[in-house]
Amino acid sequence: MRKNIVAGNWKMNNDLAQTQEIIADLKKQMSGEPAATVMVAPTYTNLYPAFEALKDTPVIVAAQNMHQEANGAFTGEISAAMLKSVGVETVILGHSERRAQFKESNELLAKKVDVALENEMTVIFCFGEELEDRKAEKHFDLVESQLKESLYHLSKESWKNIILAYEPVWAIGTGETASPEQAQEMHAFIRKSVADKFGSEIADEVSILYGGSCKPGNAKEIFANEDVDGGLIGGASLKAEDFLAIVNSF
Ligand code: 3PY
């Protein structure tokens, strides 16, 4: 049975005190077993305090990025081993903001995925099309090439540590959201592509999250789709109440 997962990406928000505050709110407001696996991704400086504060809860702490090299002269960068040394075993790779603003290519992301997996980490791999790709009806081809170029060299065994996160980039920070039908259509396409390459057993097991302005008001409709296994949540994960409302939308 594949897992339902809701992951909050706090992006470059929240200093230490604010991180501690939202974690305290999450702990206070979470009652019993959450309806899905819950993850939060604070910025680098807050990973260790978040890990310490959440280690007695089911909430998993993830990083928002990592470098593909093990160490060396890469000023400002963080390696997989450094993340692991502070208890972080899950990493978001290829978020649309990193692809757009930091020019992360499919090729670079393939290297980052390999390094994360070599370090026995779980990867939340993000990909998705821009508005012009969709308007030109190239969105399926584009998404499949992102998967092929960054993930289709992996072994079948590796897929147990891969979570996919489809981001319709045109629905991030624009006030737009993909309709539940658009989300299901793309998620079904993604699952079929994985099945064609790696077999239906792997495709049926991989969680595919939706990431595109998912919020308490639309999560239920989006998550109700057969091939949507949760969400990668941006802005709406910055308030414990909203984030938990999304978690409880299953
Ligand atoms: C957002 O919805 O803001 C995202 O970044 C989805 O990944």
Can you give the pLDDT at residue 175?
79
What percentage of residues in the chain have a pLDDT greater than 70? 100
pTM: 0.98
Ligand 1 geometric centre to CA of 72 (Å):
31
Contacts of 140 (CB under 8 A, 6+ apart): 186, 189
Can you give the pLDDT at residue 1?
87
Residues of the chain with pLDDT under 50: none
Give the residue numbers annotated as catalytic, written as ranges.
95, 167
Strands 37-41 and 60-63 come out as parallel
232, 237, 238, best to mutate for ligand 1 pocket (most atoms within 8 Å of CB): 232
Region of 38 on the Ramachandran plot (φ > 0 left; ψ -120 to 50 alpha; else beta): beta
Q: Mind giving me the DSSP string for the chain? A: -PPPEEEEE-TT---HHHHHHHHHHHHHH--SS-SSEEEEE--GGGHHHHHHHHTTSSPEEEES---SSSSSS-TT---HHHHHHTT--EEEES-HHHHHHS---HHHHHHHHHHHHHTT-EEEEEE---HHHHHTT-HHHHHHHHHHHHHTTS-GGGGGGEEEEE--GGGSSSS----HHHHHHHHHHHHHHHHHHH-HHHHHHS-EEE-SS--HHHHHHHHTSTT--EEEESGGGSSHHHHHHHHTT-
- Residue minimizing CA distance to atom 4 of ligand 1: 234
Can you give the pLDDT at residue 32?
85
Can you give the pLDDT at residue 93?
98
> Is 10 flagged in the annotation as binding?
yes
- Residue minimizing CA distance to atom 7 of ligand 1: 211
Ligand 1 geometric centre to CA of 233 (Å):
5
Strands 162-166 and 90-93 come out as unpaired
Pocket of ligand 1 (CB under 6 A): 9, 167, 172, 211-213, 232, 234-235
Contacts of 127 (CB under 8 A, 6+ apart): 94, 143, 146, 147, 150, 164, 165, 166, 167
129, 172, 237, best to mutate for ligand 1 pocket (most atoms within 8 Å of CB): 172
Ligand 1 geometric centre to CA of 73 (Å):
31
Nearest to 5 by CA among 177, 182, 246, 194: 246
> Is 161 flagged in the annotation as binding?
no
Ligand 1 geometric centre to CA of 77 (Å):
23
Structure confidence by residue, pLDDT tens digits, 164-223: 999 999 999 887 889 999 999 999 999 999 999 999 999 999 999 999 999 999 999 999
- Residue minimizing CA distance to atom 5 of ligand 1: 234
9, 101, 124, best to mutate for ligand 1 pocket (most atoms within 8 Å of CB): 9
Structural contact between residues 40 and 8, judged by C-beta atoms closer than 8 angstroms: yes
Q: Is 113 exposed, middle or buried (0-12, 13-18, 19+ CB in 10 A)?
A: buried
